[in-house]
Structure 1
Amino acid sequence: MPGQTGRVIYEGNSWQARCEDEGMTIAPNQRVYVVDRRGTTLIVIPESLLRP
């Protein structure tokens, strides 16, 4: 659901994560890139945004 916090595996650990674009939904098991960190929450974007 857009704007919700989810979880990602990063460097072997589970982290809370949010999409940089809060209006976007990221499907389960979709690859993402970490673009920032806010406290213990990673800010991510879907890999598909970076591929042509």
Structure 2
Amino acid sequence: MCDGNLRSTIKALIMANEYLETELEELQAAIAAGCVPARTSHTESDAA
């Protein structure tokens, strides 16, 4: 994906991690506020 450029690969991983951390914080805030996210059909099929 980064054509073997290790610096670009690490940068992309850091950016992806920051995005996921932000999403996690938003989900935790929503849960704390009582807004439980609905389960998606793909999540339910994974459990089966």
Asked whether the two chains share a fold, i.e. TM above 0.5, the reply is: no
Structure with the greater alpha carbon radius of gyration: 2
TM (norm. structure 1) is: 0.18
TM (norm. structure 2) is: 0.18
**Higher relative CO (CA 8 A, sep ≥ 6), structure 1 or 2?**
1
The structure carrying a bigger strand percent of its residues is: 1
